[in-house]
């Protein structure tokens, strides 16, 4: 049985087994119990090698009425209906107002008030994100026990903190399980990491 791997350069699934000549097309995806995946199988997860960079997925069939699929990218669900049309079902990452200190939920954003502390989630999954925006003044982001934060080349201590300097500063963190580190994937303003 051949194995497929996502190629981020071509945005296609490639066969890992290079002895297949000529390359064919994928007729079906097989479930972990063997046999084709049925329409009632539930969620099928296809993950690229980078968060947010899944690439192209082509759905085809002899009858468009047989195609039902949803693709979730960064919190937004893109639905493919029975006629093959695309629609966005989710509005992306939800944002909450944080007037007092809070332990963040994964894949959620926070508009933060002065003087509060936003503690990052205790048990995040690979690629989970948290976005913080300084709605008012200065606040603190704190890594949970045993976690680190990395902003550019500055690495916090275990359970360390990250402070903004001005209202309007923002940061989005992405979590890597193997290093137990929240990486700043984007930020605005000047941040102090300790």
Looking up residue 174, the CATH number of its domain turns out to be 2.60.120.640
Do 131 and 153 meet the contact criterion of CB atoms below 8 Å apart?
Answer: no
pLDDT at 49: 41
CA distances, 107 to each of 7, 65, 129 (Å) = 26, 33, 5
- pLDDT-based confidence at residue 85 (cuts at 50, 70, 90): low
Q: Is residue 138 part of a domain?
A: yes
Q: Is residue 10 part of a domain?
A: no
Do 140 and 163 meet the contact criterion of CB atoms below 8 Å apart?
Answer: yes
No. of H helices and E strands in the chain? 0, 17
Averaged pLDDT for residues 89-118: 90
Per-residue pLDDT of 14-72, as tens digits, reads 655 544 444 444 444 555 555 555 555 555 554 444 444 444 444 444 444 444 454 55
Q: For the ranges 48-52, 90-94, 178-182, which has the lowest average pLDDT?
A: 48-52
Quote the number of domains for the chain. Answer: 1
Q: Is residue 182 part of a domain?
A: yes
d(CA 172, CA 122): 17
Q: Is residue 99 part of a domain?
A: yes
Averaged pLDDT for residues 168-182: 96
Residue, of 47 and 112, whose pLDDT is higher: 112
d(CA 105, CA 54): 24
d(CA 117, CA 140): 5
- What is the sign of the dihedral through the CA atoms of 52, 194, 119 and 123? positive
Q: Is residue 164 part of a domain?
A: yes
Q: Is residue 55 part of a domain?
A: no
Q: Is residue 100 part of a domain?
A: yes
The parent domain of residue 187 ranges over 95-193
Residue 176 has pLDDT above 90, yes or no: yes
Q: Is residue 178 part of a domain?
A: yes
Per-residue pLDDT of 114-136, as tens digits, reads 999 999 999 999 999 999 999 99
């Amino acid at each position: 049985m051949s194995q497929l791997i996502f190629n981020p350069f071509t945005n296609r699934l490639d066969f890992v087994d290079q002895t297949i000549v000529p390359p064919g097309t994928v007729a079906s995806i097989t479930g972990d119990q063997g046999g084709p995946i049925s329409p009632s199988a539930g969620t099928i997860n296809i993950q690229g090698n980078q968060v947010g960079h899944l690439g192209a997925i082509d759905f085809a069939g002899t009858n468009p009425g047989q195609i039902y699929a949803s693709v979730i990218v960064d919190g937004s669900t893109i639905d493919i209906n029975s006629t093959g049309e695309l629609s966005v079902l989710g509005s992306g990452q939800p944002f909450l107002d944080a007037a007092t200190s809070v332990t963040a939920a994964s894949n959620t954003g926070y508009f933060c008030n002065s003087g509060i502390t936003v503690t990052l989630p205790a048990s995040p999954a690979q690629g989970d994100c948290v976005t913080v925006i300084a709605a008012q003044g200065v606040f603190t982001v704190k890594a949970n026990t045993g976690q680190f934060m990395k902003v550019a080349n500055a690495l916090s201590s275990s359970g360390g903190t990250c402070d903004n300097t001005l209202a309007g500063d923002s940061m989005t963190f992405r979590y890597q399980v193997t290093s137990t580190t929240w990486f700043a994937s984007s930020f605005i303003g000047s941040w102090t990491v300790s």
